[in-house]
Structure 1
């Protein structure tokens, strides 16, 4: 008789103070390492098919797993229109520090790929500080990036917006972008999202994470062109970075064969 797989536990963590305080929903599964940390995409939540497949895989293999919703997403509090890359990064760091122990694999989809790179950089920085003080902490085992969209607010949004859209964002502070995802209703792109995003751009120089990186990218992705993934690989050290280009893959990469590739990349690192 096999041991019963423990269920995920729903938890909440408060991030920020005063007017910027928000409640972040976290689903975590106890288990051995390396643990899995899911970082979702822009306007996505932790109940998507890829996140659920990773959690089920963790359950089947007795692995720890953590997934959460950024503020303004899913089960978390806060308003989506208040969201910025820095705000969501602050939440990602808080969740990692609170719920992760030992080596972890960061798995980031779309915007979550950018978030994983920023979180990895923050983890390394904090680790170096802790080593000086001889403190134990969670660490990086590797990254799995799915259609990663680093710098998307600048490279994929702002630089491609027509002049009229840019003017609306600059004068009104927000533009409602039509959507083909979710319920199809338009969503706000704020001036604050664009301007604050410029504080977190990573593609301008080398990104040294000191761990293996696996990137999965669809060649038919209409949102994040495959050239964007190539640009990212050029910023990563050559050792132990593998880019898999899925010729008929779209942006979601959530077909059974895509999820199988994602799980294989996680297993290879772990």
Structure 2
């Protein structure tokens, strides 16, 4: 069985070069995510999986069904198949230290006792926003003086449901200190661990496409955005749109933390580079600058 599309030809599900190009264009327009040539095998396998699940044996039939379905449930199912959601607690922990040791004290000095909002995206199955919650609880002395809202979003509805349920594997908890496991998790079935309700309750999860965020994420009232390892899936045009939407979401003086392989400076001049002891952070200018 062939796994690749022959040049100028087709494969056993009817995915011609022209059809593949049409799919790429459609998926990019809807999500901002583009796939290079190296991802073609990955994309084809996931399309074939959704075709089998929906009873379509030819790509053109499936493509028409997926685009025209009024509920768009199948498009969402395809998005869920295409997104990668592997993460773990306290990933790139230096950024959480930066949050509690430097960023939040700076904000608190400008706005004492003011409410604070932190947005984590893409949140996948919840490890990142719950890590933020745990880090604030365990390490930020200013927490009792501030009403903190934790927002978490993803484009994948299946991982959002998993995040709300709060069950995690041993692999997800590998870097979590043992004392925190005891305090904040309970053993569950099938070797899973469930984070305590008091932590689950403080995170608000929502489906958000960063290229067209809902009104809640365009109010300019967010103080810190964690947007790690998302922009690498966008081309330059989509990256600029995403960064503009992040800037719109943030208060003046708000902060953005990116993944270690990402750089805001290559995308936009809307943010200033801040170099802290714990790493590089990007800041939206204050209104008076």
- Greater radius of gyration (CA): 2
- What TM-score results when the alignment is normalised by the length of structure 2? 0.30
Q: Structure 1 or 2: larger helix share?
A: 2
